[in-house]
Amino acid sequence: MDPLSHPSRPAGAPEFVVFSHKQNEKVSFFCRPTLWRFAEVEFDPWVKEVSVNQRFIELDGGRVPVALAFEDRHASVIVISKLYLGAGTPVQVQKYADDNGVLCEVLDFRFLKSDQTRYENYLLMLSYINKHRESLTERNLRGIVAQARSRLGWSADLQPSDIQFIQRLMNYSTQLGFMNTRLDTKDLVDTSYLDKASR
């Protein structure tokens, strides 16, 4: 996989600009599924060597932009938007991946339906951390907790698995250095109703 010039924004495509803590810079995505996948990657403590829209792969039908590339514990991974395959096909992309020893994900809008709440929560947490990164200290934790509670207004619908998910996100954020204070889910969300319901 040869890094080539930065893929240009496709004509008429939306642009989603976000700050990547793993790259320590702003990055752009040109379709929603790859943006959502990126948000998950940002919270994965095992992921490294992230690049966003910095590579192409060469297929018989021409160049295909790689929206997201990264290394995890097991393999190199490339993420491609089906929307921008051009004359290429998912089968050709998979053959390229197999020939080059990388894992490949070709995402379309069905990806957004696979686990929408989880990916929306990744984006909400990433947005919150980006907005408040400098202020996440013990000194002003109470104000931050109040703001987080307003962001998590759907807490009345939380299940125990949601609480565990939010806690994992916050733990990852601390491990990755996004936050310098460890937060506990019970500081953000009142879960007493869950305890009462389980009795």
- Write out pLDDT tens, residues 165-179: 777 777 777 776 666
Question: Residue 146 domain-assigned?
Answer: yes
Question: Residue 73 domain-assigned?
Answer: yes
Percentage of the chain lying above the pLDDT 70 cut: 70
Q: Are 34 and 88 contained in the same domain?
A: yes
pLDDT tens digit sequence for 67-97:
999 998 888 999 999 888 877 788 888 898 9
- For residue 28, what are the contacts with CB-CB under 8 A and spacing of at least 6? 9, 15, 16, 17, 52, 53
Q: Is the separation of the CB atoms in 108 and 151 below 8 Å?
A: no
Domain of 102: which CATH number?
Answer: 3.40.1350.10
| Domain boundary pick from 52, 86, 112 | 112
- For strands 25-29 and 48-59, give the pairing: unpaired
| Domain boundary pick from 112, 141, 166 | 112
Q: Which domain holds residue 26?
A: 16-112
Question: Residue 2 domain-assigned?
Answer: no
Q: How far is CA 65 from CA 1, 47, 48, 145, in A?
A: 11, 21, 20, 40
| Domain boundary pick from 112, 145, 161 | 112
Q: What is the mean pLDDT of the chain?
A: 76
